[in-house]
Structure 1
Amino acid sequence: MNQAGTEAILSQAVEAMGRRDGAAARRLLGSLAPEAINPGNLFLLAQACRMEGDEAAEASAIDRLLRAQPLHLGALLMKGAALARTGDEDGAMAPYQAAVSIAQQVRQRGENLPPMLAAEVDRAAQWVGRHIAERAARIDEALARSGFGPGSRSQRIDEALGILRGDLPIQLQEPTSFYFPGLPQRSFYEREEFEWASALEANTPAIKTELEAMLAAQAEQFEPYVAADADRSSGTAPNAHLAGSTSWSAYHLLKGGEPVEGHAEQFPATLAALQGAPLTRIAGRAPMALFSLLKPGAHIRPHHGLFNFRLICHLPLIVPPGCALRVGNQERQWREGELLIFDDSMEHEARNQSDRQRIILLFEIWRPEISEADREALTVLLEAANITAED
């Protein structure tokens, strides 16, 4: 069939659709040569099948279309509507949500959807909202009936519910330099999980005494955490606003795997306390330990750390009210002398909304799930790859 013949058939099919004659449109579209079938023709065929009430044929045409063009907005809307009509509301969620997301992207680019299509998208968005609310109510009722109402269930169940409702994003490890597979996706670890933690926490008074002595003598020796000439100080980096700023600053004790001359000597109790922790040791790069200072009003914007094979530990030493750390979907407050241990390869941010400075002791440890053999292999790998272990 030549191009003119194909166009004539399509024109007649469109006219049949205008007369609400789905049967005629299907016959015409069915007469097209296989090579003339494309997403646009399949969309017409699906509409003709719906007009006839042939749900199986409609579904077949839509699925063929989506295999060829997975982001076809009209087909996604039709698939969602078809599934909803059959009572498969959970199944309808995926195509409807995909359609709404695509339409949002179009609108964010400043483009307009055709009025009829825009109306269908709005209806789909309302349907999704209603379904999410109804499902959430059903789940809440079932949980409460089974003794898992608010306050009687774990934080992870609450987070899962938030993600299901669309209130929270899925938070996953996204290290910027190196990814080690197979590790659990956990924002925070509890201090009680580590045998060495209580002994280190018991040294808080001695560590704080050393810190206060240093502050009284040479507080100005804190340096910007994000150096003015660092790669991450480029305008697109999450914390470019802190480049060269002492709003977020550091006083290093261990850097590049070695004690910092002129600093480490003042902190014998601090360094002795750290020896009980499973610090990462990578020649020329780790361990690292520093005091991190956050000035009043400072905000460390959401970002990801370098690696996921380590955990970051904070021992709070000077913590006024109004200071908080968010990792993934969880937010916690620092409490003096109580370790906060977290995976910094997950999105995290920190704020000091008080009128005083916040100072914590920061160091890194191996993830407890990593075997001794893998720790040795990772050490060799990272030394050979020349990947920095300091963030």
Structure 2
Amino acid sequence: MNDNNNHITQLIESITTMVEKAEYDSALSAYASVFKQYPEFLSPKDEEPLTKFRATHIHNAANLSRRALYNACHHIGSTSRIKQAVNMLCGVERKVYQHEAQKPSFLFIPDLPSSPFSETSEVEGLQDLVDKLSSSKEVFLSCIKYANDNYVHEIGEVPKSDDWKKLSENWSSMHLMKGGHFTEHAKRLPHDLISLFNSPLLAHCPTHAPEVVISVLKPKAYIPPHYGTSNIKWTLHIPLVVNDNAYLDVAGEKRTWSAKTEALLFDDSFVHSAENPADAARAVLIIDIWNPHLTEVEKQDIQMLMREYANWSAHFGALAVLDKRFY
């Protein structure tokens, strides 16, 4: 233990010197090394008392991490709304939402038109994609038996409530595309079907999107209200197994399923919930598509932003929230 303490002391002394010399990039890399080797030093338990010395280094590590994100991304943005979105993501500008019911948890593009529900006809070429995917419904139905992953863990941070704990047992999934990359499940599908997911309509911006997933909501299951991660994409639901009682509620607007429902298209950055009160499971194919009001240049900006963010997150992302206990 003493050897560890001595090593930490040496590392921290060298970091202090780097900070004094304004060698911030080197200091951040050194903090990342400390966090990897001795995570308890920079991430103590909430109830653990802290010295001013230790708290200072926790603040330093978090601030340098956030600084690195801004340095990597601040140049991105061909339009004012993308520039503003980057500033909000990097924390240099406060997030201001346009609708009370629309509060995406990760990335928000201001002044980007949307509504809780939209028609597929509003997106050029989308109805054709829906028709082609629907014609292969039997293939997707055959995949339902493999939908055994816990989908609650895939939608981001959710409250630790009894409703969400119960839902983790009643909401399952099987990904065909995750974070913009095809899964092993997808590779077993017919090639012409897989090629449909390369459509430019899909929100191709790894590692953020797109997601293509078969979602199964068990009988009597309820998904509490929650927000999606961003408003750059809309969510397409193509029915596989549905019933007249299951519904989707987006910002207080409720849509129910029926045998005649071809698809539902909504913006999951608005608060939304779902329920399947029937005695049989409800299964849908979920696909992320671009918000059609984004320009092609803005989509390229977002793709670049996601690449930079993913690289930053892999190296320094965990450090950015180290000082959350002081908020």
TM-score w.r.t. the length of structure 1 is 0.50
Q: Which of 215, 220, 223 is the equivalent residue of 2:149?
A: 223
Give the corresponding residue for 2:288.
Answer: 364
3-state secondary structure, aligned to 1:249? strand
Q: C-alpha displacement at 1:283, in angstroms?
A: 3.3
Q: Following the alignment from structure 1 to structure 2, what is the Cα–Cα distance between the partners of residues 248 and 273?
A: 26
1:306 alignment partner, SS class:
coil
Residue 104 of structure 1: aligned partner? none
Amino acid at match of 2:189: Q
Q: Output the TM-score relative to the length of structure 2.
A: 0.59
What residue ranges of structure 2 are gaps of 5+ in the alignment?
Answer: 1-98, 314-327
Question: How far does the alpha carbon of each residue in 1:27-84 deviate from its partner, in whole angstroms, 9 at most, with x for none?
Answer: xxxxxxxxxxxxxxxxxxxxxxxxxxxxxxxxxxxxxxxxxxxxxxxxxxxxxxxxxx
Q: Note the alpha carbon deviations across 1:233-272, whole angstroms, 9 max, x for none.
A: 65259734323x2x11111101122111144322545433
Tell me by how many angstroms 1:226 deviates.
Answer: 1.6
**Paired residue for 1:241?**
166
1:376 maps to 300
Quickly say closer, same or farther: Cα 1:231–1:302, change in 2 above 3 A: closer
- Contact 1:178–1:307 at 8 Å: present in 2 too? yes
**More helix per residue:** 1
Which residue of structure 1 lines up, in the alignment, with residue 36 of structure 2?
A: none
Distance 1:202 1:220 in 2: 24
Could you tell me which runs of 5 or more consecutive residues in structure 1 were left unpaired when the two chains were aligned.
1-169
Q: Is the 8 A contact 1:234 1:240 kept in 2?
A: no
Deviations 1:83-142 (A, max 9, x none): xxxxxxxxxxxxxxxxxxxxxxxxxxxxxxxxxxxxxxxxxxxxxxxxxxxxxxxxxxxx
The counterpart of 1:196, out of the listed 125, 131, 155, is: 125
Larger Rg: 1
How far the C-alpha of 1:308 sits from its partner, in A, is: 1.1
Residue 261 of structure 1, aligned match among 176, 184, 187: 184
Cα deviation for residue 333 of structure 1 reads 1.4
1:123-272 to 2 correspondence within 5 Å? Answer: 171-215=100-144, 219-227=145-153, 232=157, 235=160, 239-243=164-168, 245=169, 247-272=170-195
- For the residues of structure 2 that align with 1:359 and 1:226, how far apart are their CA atoms? 15
Structure 1 residues 364 and 220: alpha-carbon distance in aligned structure 2, compared to 1, 3 A threshold: closer
| TM alignment of 1:1-391, pairs within 5 A | 171-215=100-144, 219-227=145-153, 232=157, 235=160, 239-243=164-168, 245=169, 247-276=170-199, 278-336=201-259, 338-386=262-310
Query: 1 or 2 for the larger relative contact order (CA 8 Å, sep ≥6)?
Result: 2
Cα contact 1:319–1:359 (8 A) shared by 2 = yes
1:232 and 1:240 in contact (8 A); partners too: no
- Give the aligned length: 213
- Maintained 8 Å contact 1:288/1:364: yes
Q: Deviations over 1:129-160 (max 9, x none)?
A: xxxxxxxxxxxxxxxxxxxxxxxxxxxxxxxx
SS of 1:232 mapped into structure 2: coil
The question of whether the paired residues in 2 share the 8 Å contact of 1:171 and 1:347 is answered with no
Change (3 A) 1:365 1:238: farther
CA offset at residue 205 of structure 1? 4.6
Q: Counterparts of 1:357 and 1:202 in 2: how far apart (Å)?
A: 23
Contact 2:244 2:258 in 1 (8 A): no
Q: Distance in 2 between matches of 1:212 and 1:380?
A: 36
Q: Is the 8 A contact 2:236 2:266 kept in 1?
A: yes
